[in-house]
Amino acid sequence: MGYKVILFDFDDTLVDFHDAEVQAYGHLMRHYEVPSHLHDYHRFKEINQNHWEAFQRGEITKAEVLRHRFIATFETYGMTVNGQEADIVFRDGLARAPIKWLAGMMPMLEALHSQYALAIVTNGVTDTQERRIAQTDLHTVIDHIFISDKVGAQKPNVGFFEAVFEVFDQYDKKDFLIVGDSLTSDIQGGLNAGIDTCWFNHRQLENKTAIQPTYTIDHIEALKEILM
């Protein structure tokens, strides 16, 4: 299709974020000495998701998400914690968790590197994401890394993509393709920015939104067919 710049989301697109998050939650529970039989990752997952959705609706700030998700989680255990401290502990566990690549990702990036400009576009806290990415060999195949915390805007905000366009200013919008697992973040972000999108639906979820990606794939090898 003539693309020249491929933007890849990081978590749950290149690497298994679920696995890292489970390990980080265990790290948090051990830090606060919550008995292992009470550890309930799914409880946190639901609370965390609700908070991020409230943030996307503009109801709370990002700082409130990072604090209050843990305050709310520990309240279900009958415990009171400092939300900011709990967030630091959790993100430290996240940064320490070994990176688990999704199948075929690194070979795919190595194959694409000689033909396309490649970039990572990720929402997250700068220190945490940089520590996690530093565990990998991505520096050998990725031309630029954009982290929302450093950019000052978060996907799907068009401001995030304006920072990308400034770096790759020799290209037109038609030259870009974003690949990501999140309809509301990656795909909506690409639509907002006016570039083509590829929903990497490796968990084979039903699209219950009005968001329509340019392409949908459920295994990364299918990306080659799009780029041919």
Using DSSP bridges, classify how beta strands 196-200 and 215-217 pair: parallel, antiparallel or unpaired: parallel
Q: Which of 9, 11, 87, 186 is catalytic?
A: 9
Residue 227, Cβ density class (10 Å: 0-12 exposed, 13-18 middle, ≥19 buried):
middle
| Residue 149 amino acid letter | D
Q: How many helices (H) and strands (E) does the chain have?
A: 10, 6
H or E element that contains 69? helix 62-75
H or E element that contains 46? helix 41-56
The residue with tokens 């933007």 is 7
Residue from 55, 33, 68 nearest 154 by CA:
55
9 catalytic per annotation: yes
77: helix, strand or coil: coil
Residue-by-residue DSSP string for 108-141: HHHHHHTTSEEEEEE-S-HHHHHHHHTTSSGGGT
Q: Decide if 154 contacts 174 (C-beta within 8 A).
A: no
Positions marked active-site? 9
